[in-house]
């Protein structure tokens, strides 16, 4: 499928990391990218040929509606080739200690927000035979200690992706999920800061139970940030999923993701539990 400037692609969460790299890659491919950012300053930094920053907060219905209107009333009548649902946050804490408001925030941004954007853009995707690209995670395949809220949201997006694919592909819209492993992005630092903030309000008993888990999580997260693949590698896979004439239903990014997704399918859960404990030195 040849990329050209007569097609639009909407990408959420382009201020940094995978989203920013994806916007740049798709612009280089020749698409006109509507790059969703939450702050005008981020948009100014991202602005470039074929990249049009737009304010999109996936928890704000007005900005989502404005994005849909921008696409529906494109001055050049370009069709929507794809939406890349990339916006997300990482709330990391033991299940017992994560406040319910933090669980709600994780799901509001990383699940409900993705669904809201998809619902708003489905008419444009149907009109152009486009595709939905959801950014998942190995955390949506296996939940490590301390990653409960984040993994729960990513598991949910696996289900949303499967349901949507089975509902809508017969109408010409392809639905794909991308599963990265460790990727070098600033979400690692944000996740660690969130973990520290939530740990600061734990009770003494909770500290006794979970301090080792929190330390192990932080060490694992730092390893992801240090040894992960560049965000550009994820962007290349997303580009391939958009340009392929017959895309696969799911793609992995990095050897770690490929191995872990296979292990989850093949190994008994007790074996996986033991492996996770050893990997995190618990």
**Tens digit of pLDDT for each residue in 185-225?**
777 778 888 999 999 999 999 999 999 999 988 888 888 77
Q: Is residue 124 part of a domain?
A: yes
pTM of the model: 0.93
pLDDT-based confidence at residue 107 (cuts at 50, 70, 90): very high
* Span 111-131, pLDDT tens digits: 999 999 999 999 999 999 999
Q: Is residue 233 part of a domain?
A: yes
Q: What is the pLDDT of residue 154?
A: 98
pLDDT-based confidence at residue 1 (cuts at 50, 70, 90): very low
Q: Is residue 49 part of a domain?
A: yes
- State percent of the chain over pLDDT 90: 80
Q: Is the pLDDT of residue 18 over 90?
A: yes
pLDDT-based confidence at residue 53 (cuts at 50, 70, 90): very high
CB contact at 8 A, 143 and 151: yes
Range 120-144 average pLDDT? 96
Q: What is the pLDDT of residue 143?
A: 92
Backbone angles phi, psi at 177, to 5 degrees: -120, 135
Range 272-276 average pLDDT? 90
Number of domains in the chain: 1
Which member of 31, 147, 150, 155 is catalytic?
Answer: 150
**What element of type H or E holds 131?**
strand 131-135
Q: What is the pLDDT of residue 226?
A: 80
The CATH number covering residue 55 comes to 3.40.50.720
Residue 210 annotated as catalytic: no
Instruction: Please tell me the distance from the alpha carbon of residue 15 to that of residue 46, in angstroms, as a whole number.
Output: 8
Q: What is the pLDDT of residue 83?
A: 98
Q: What is the pLDDT of residue 5?
A: 58
Q: Is residue 2 part of a domain?
A: no
Residue numbers of the domain that contains 69: 7-279
> Two tokens at 139?
């955390």
Q: What is the pLDDT of residue 4?
A: 55
Q: Is residue 1 part of a domain?
A: no
Instruction: Please tell me the distance from the alpha carbon of residue 278 to that of residue 271, in angstroms, as a whole number.
Output: 11
Q: Is the pLDDT of residue 2 over 80?
A: no
Q: Is the pLDDT of residue 43 over 60?
A: yes
Backbone angles phi, psi at 238, to 5 degrees: -60, -45
Q: What is the pLDDT of residue 276?
A: 87
Q: What is the pLDDT of residue 128?
A: 96
Residue 195, judged by CB atoms within 10 A of its CB (0-12, 13-18, 19+), counts as buried
- The chain-wide mean pLDDT, for the chain, equals 93
Q: Is residue 205 part of a domain?
A: yes
> Two tokens at 1?
């499928």
CB contact at 8 A, 243 and 233: no
Q: Is the pLDDT of residue 63 over 50?
A: yes
């Amino acid at each position: 499928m040849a990329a050209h400037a007569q097609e639009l692609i909407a990408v959420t969460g382009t201020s940094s990391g995978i989203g920013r790299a994806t916007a740049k890659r798709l612009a280089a491919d020749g698409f006109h990218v509507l790059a969703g950012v939450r702050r005008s300053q981020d948009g100014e930094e991202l602005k470039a040929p074929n990249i049009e920053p737009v304010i999109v907060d996936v928890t704000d219905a007005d900005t989502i509606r404005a994005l849909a209107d921008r696409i529906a009333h494109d001055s050049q009548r370009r069709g929507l080739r794809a939406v890349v649902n990339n916006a997300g946050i990482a709330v990391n804490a033991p299940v017992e200690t994560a406040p319910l408001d933090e669980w709600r925030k994780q799901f509001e941004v990383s699940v409900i927000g993705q669904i809201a954007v998809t619902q708003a853009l489905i008419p444009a995707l149907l009109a152009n035979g486009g595709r939905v690209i959801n950014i998942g995670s190995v955390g949506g395949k296996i939940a490590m200690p301390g990653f409960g809220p984040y993994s729960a949201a990513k598991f949910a997006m696996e289900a949303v992706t499967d349901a949507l694919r089975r509902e809508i592909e017969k109408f010409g819209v392809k639905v794909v999920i991308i599963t990265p492993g460790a990727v070098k992005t600033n979400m690692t630092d944000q996740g660690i800061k969130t973990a520290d903030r939530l740990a600061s309000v734990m009770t003494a008993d909770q500290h006794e139970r979970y301090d080792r888990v929190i330390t192990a999580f932080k060490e694992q997260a730092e390893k992801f940030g240090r040894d992960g693949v560049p965000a550009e590698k994820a962007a290349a896979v997303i580009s391939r999923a958009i340009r392929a004439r017959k895309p696969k239903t799911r793609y992995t990014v990095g050897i770690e993701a490929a191995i872990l997704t296979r292990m989850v399918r093949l190994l008994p859960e007790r074996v996986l539990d033991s492996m996770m404990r050893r990997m995190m030195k618990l």
